Amino acid sequence: MHRRQLLTALGGVSVVMAAANSRAAALLRKLAPSLQGIPRVPMPMVQTGQGLQLAARLIPTPRSIPKVSQAVLDAPLNPIWTCSPRSSDQWRTLAAQVDLLLANRAAESLGSPSGPVPRPQLESFSLDGVPACVAVPHGQQAGHGLMVFSIHGGAYVLRGGATNLERDAITNALRFGLPALSIDYRQLPEWHQPVPLQDVERAWLAAQTRYPDQRWLVSGVSLVSPLLDLSLSGDSLQTHRGLDRDILQVEGLLEGAVTLYLNGADPRQADLSPLFGSFRGFPPSLIISGSRDLLMSDAIRLNQRLLESGVPCQLQVFEAMSHLMISAPIPEQEQAVAMLQRFAQSLAS
């Protein structure tokens, strides 16, 4: 369609919507007198023309989830997620504190629902200059069958370094019950786009050479390591603001990291925000989110884009769970891990 025709068509859509809104307003005015005798409760929001202004209210801890999960929701919030670093030193300090938090979480959650499992065998090496680590579960070997290729999350600035590299490999090996390869791509504050993505691509290609007979399951925790939409336009970034106890809000850490990573680039480039690219030819996919996940909209839109492209895809949204629910020692984590293992088994068969 010619640009002028497109603009005309879009203008026509606006006119149609305006007319529909006008008719709806007229209908509501007609209905109003007949509703006057019916008791009402206060309207929970005000329509401003630019969105909805919500009234202040309490969001109770839901009784629809297990008691232990309710306790996690009621636990004190971690002040780390309200930090808004302004210098490289501040970013490094924040990353070090998050490493301590992740180490504590890993100590609580590693293992299996049925009890302790043997520690996977570790091997560290370089993939075309990118630090890598393979964790192989007891009784298995790398090089044949299915292996996890893990790209860690952390908003381009967190969860890097050798200790986190080993921890990520071990965690994924135990979650999937498969050999897991993790990589340590370069991060902020020293390295912005396109360097981290180039590291991931180099490591991926080198892994194919190192393990020529391997089949792969690509995994990322923190949607989908990294973010899918750096324009930060998803609806849940606003509707879930303050509900996600892991990220809390866009302002601060998340927005600051995205701005630093972009370094002035257009956030809608497909290389930076995959949601604006093509998904044709993608393999079967599993997406896990929570109903309080600040990035739930990205999960929903990814699922929609994959289905539109003919890709078999499953989206699982856990009740009342926040962004990093799979890292917490709660029943929902066990359920998510079971889903991951079933998904891996379906690919291996």
CATH number at residue 336: 3.40.50.1820
**Reduced to 3 states, what is the DSSP secondary structure of residue 34?**
helix
Tokens 């006008």 correspond to 22
Residue 267 falls within a domain, yes or no?
yes
297 neighbors 241 (Cβ within 8 angstroms): no
Residue 93 falls within a domain, yes or no?
yes
Q: Which two tokens stand for residue 272?
A: 């930076």
Q: Which domain holds residue 83?
A: 68-348
Give the closest residue to 296 by CA, choosing from 238, 212, 216, 256. 238
Cα radius of gyration rounded to whole Å, the chain? 23
CA 285 to chain centre: 14
Res 101: pLDDT:
79
Residue 274 DSSP symbol = G
Give the C-alpha separation, 229 to 258, whole Å.
10
Res 10: pLDDT:
46
Instruction: Record the pTM.
Output: 0.86
Res 320: pLDDT:
96
Res 31: pLDDT:
81
Res 151: pLDDT:
95
Res 112: pLDDT:
47
138 CB-near residues (< 8 Å, 6+ apart): 117, 118, 120, 121
Residue 124 falls within a domain, yes or no?
yes
Residue 54 falls within a domain, yes or no?
no
Residue 18 falls within a domain, yes or no?
no
Q: How many domains does the chain have?
A: 1
Res 57: pLDDT:
87
What sign does the dihedral 150-317-305-234 (CA atoms) show? negative
276 neighbors 269 (Cβ within 8 angstroms): yes
Q: What is the DSSP string of 307-340?
A: HHTT--EEEEEETT--TTGGGSSSHHHHHHHHHH
Residues with pLDDT less than 50, the chain: 1, 3, 6-10, 111-114
Residue 39 falls within a domain, yes or no?
no
296 neighbors 290 (Cβ within 8 angstroms): yes
Residue 89 falls within a domain, yes or no?
yes
Residue 48 falls within a domain, yes or no?
no
49 CB-near residues (< 8 Å, 6+ apart): none
On the 0-12 / 13-18 / 19+ scale of CB atoms within 10 A, 70 is middle
